[in-house]
A = this chain, B = another copy of it.
């Protein structure tokens, strides 16, 4: 493997402890809630925070290891970094911003500017070469930042929300370009993102960081199938419950029991897709084994569909059509009956 890091960083009250391996050519997406430590991780890998403990090794070369008193300065790490807030140099034009990296690595002025123009062109920014960053729109600035990081020909790519400010069209095309570039990119790459679509399109593996710790990792399919925290479940649009299994019975913390179709024992997670939760205005008959009466907490409208957040005893979301919402007369606080088939509850060990 090519990037091997065990990052322990302390920032005031915040502690980050993340172990991470990324192979050459592999792309790992880091996801997590705001303030989880994603940016801190990127900064530590780039050498902008020094480790309290652990190590960062790139291609077998130790970049940071406090126990061995090794610390390689950021400028010698060959990390291409895209910062969450771009950090473009206000006194340089877009072209000079992109040429800065190559120039710093000893490329001749003419070559560096040639390379910069090529990258700007690739990013669809040829027309802005002579502008200062204060003349750029948010999305343009982000693309310049991306071009600037890529133009150095880095050994390791660290992208902190590289597409957050892009418009939908640019996003798809930059995502695709980035994907192609990452395919061609020989080194390891870490992408921080909030968008599971980006993660799906770009990354081979996902790393979920919450509150300074890795709470889950694996391929998109693995993570989607078996979320282990509320954040991941929400990210994937799933309901996550935690409880104890006794055979095909699932007992939640508040004592409510659900019927499942999986034989299990001990502490488990249970996952229910919102569209598998049916809502009724009166007690339904029929096959579903789990039926209960509850109240509506919130309703989130999503175009022609709506997400209905249910209250106690089983706090989950149901996804129904907008028509159903009006037919059932749903509003916040309204009473409603919910049901889930036993076969639609997936159960796995906690």
Contact = CB atoms under 8 A, between A and B. Distances in A.
Interface of A: 12, 31-36, 38-39, 84-85, 135-140, 143, 161, 164-172, 175-176, 179, 194-197, 200-201, 220, 224, 230-231, 234-235, 298, 300-303
Given A172-B234, A300-B176, A164 B164 contact: yes
28 contacts: A31-B168, A33-B167, A33-B169, A34-B137, A34-B138, A35-B136, A35-B140, A38-B137, A39-B138, A139-B194, A164-B165, A167-B231, A168-B196, A168-B234, A168-B235, A169-B231, A169-B234, A169-B235, A171-B194, A172-B234, A176-B298, A179-B300, A197-B302, A197-B303, A200-B301, A200-B302, A200-B303, A201-B302
Contacts of A84: 138, 165
Contacts of A168: 31, 194-196, 231, 234-235
Contacts of A135: 12
A122 to B, nearest CB: 14
A298 B172 CA distance: 11
A10 B310 CA distance: 50
A167 B194 contact: yes
B33 A170 contact: yes
A179 B33 CA distance: 21
Contacts of A195: 168
Contacts of A38: 137
A32 B168 CA distance: 8
Contacts of A171: 194
A39 B134 CA distance: 13
A164 B166 CA distance: 9
A270 B220 CA distance: 35
Nearest to A160: B138
A161 B165 contact: yes
Contacts of A143: 34
A230 B166 CA distance: 16
Contacts of A136: 35
A138 B85 contact: yes
